[in-house]
């Protein structure tokens, strides 16, 4: 059905590594895989196997859960996107102690959940990529704001800037990016 790889951490793992909860849900207990160092696992490649047919309107969604926290959505694969490297955005552990026992006597542990879901109900196929784009946009906006502040005057409660301020900022931004290839990397996470 599907397989996963933790880059630089594992060989390919197939569905048999996961515990099947029901027809559409699987869980990987990270305690068995990496112990308490689950948060050092930052990325996961998930892929559909050749012989698995997922309906076009369905997706295999990936979730992560820190000990004592709720599951958090990370991304998904579909027939049109049969593999993906997803960033695992581990939530903060819940208020419960990591060493507290559950009702069945097992200690709380981090988990990765896989679920077959309606594609239309998912927010995005790659949550981390969207967060990176949002972060970059905010950093570029902050850069523009700081540039404009250095040229503005105050008229009551209004900031007054030269009419060509956007052109001047954009030209400076482009020149700096050409001169220093590392400059744009400073805008990423």
Predicted TM-score of the model (pTM): 0.64
C-alpha span between 66 and 178 (Å, rounded): 42
Q: What is the arithmetic mean of pLDDT over 157-165?
A: 80
Q: What is the arithmetic mean of pLDDT over 1-23?
A: 86
pLDDT surpasses 80 at 38: yes
Kindly report the average pLDDT of the chain as a whole number.
81
DSSP-derived pairing of the beta strands 158-160 and 153-155: antiparallel
Which residues is 14 bridged to in the sheet? 3
Q: Which of 73-82, 159-168, 178-187 has the highest mean pLDDT?
A: 73-82
The span from the first CA to the last CA of the chain, in angstroms, equals: 33
pLDDT digits (tens, 9 = 90+) for 96-124: 433 443 445 455 789 999 999 998 888 76
C-alpha span between 18 and 20 (Å, rounded): 6
> In terms of Cα–Cα distance, which of 74, 77, 81 is closest to 41?
74
Token pair recorded at residue 33: 């895989």
What is the 8-class DSSP label of residue 39? G
Q: Residue 38 CB: number of other CB atoms within 10 A?
A: 22
pLDDT given at position 168: 86
What CA dihedral angle connects 100, 61, 119 and 55, to 10 degrees?
A: -120
> In terms of Cα–Cα distance, which of 117, 135, 136, 109 is closest to 73?
117
pLDDT digits (tens, 9 = 90+) for 57-83: 899 999 999 988 888 888 899 888 899
pLDDT given at position 129: 62
């Amino acid at each position: 059905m599907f397989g996963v790889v933790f880059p630089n951490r594992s060989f390919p793992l197939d569905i048999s590594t996961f515990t099947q909860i029901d027809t559409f849900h699987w869980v990987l207990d990270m305690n068995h895989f990496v112990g308490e160092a689950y948060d050092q696992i930052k990325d996961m490649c998930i892929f559909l196997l050749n012989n698995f047919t997922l309906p076009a309107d369905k997706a295999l969604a990936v979730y992560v859960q820190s000990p004592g926290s709720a599951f958090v959505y990370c991304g998904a694969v579909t027939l049109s996107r049969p593999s993906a490297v997803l960033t695992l955005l581990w939530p903060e552990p819940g208020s419960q102690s990591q060493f507290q026992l559950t009702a069945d006597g097992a200690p709380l542990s981090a988990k990765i959940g896989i679920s077959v879901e309606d594609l239309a109900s998912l927010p995005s196929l790659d949550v981390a990529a969207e967060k990176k784009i949002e972060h970059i946009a905010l950093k570029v906006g902050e850069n523009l704001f700081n540039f404009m502040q250095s040229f503005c005057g105050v008229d009551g409660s209004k900031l007054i800037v030269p009419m060509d301020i956007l052109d001047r900022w954009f030209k400076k931004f482009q020149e700096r990016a050409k001169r220093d290839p590392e400059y744009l990397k400073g805008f990423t996470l």
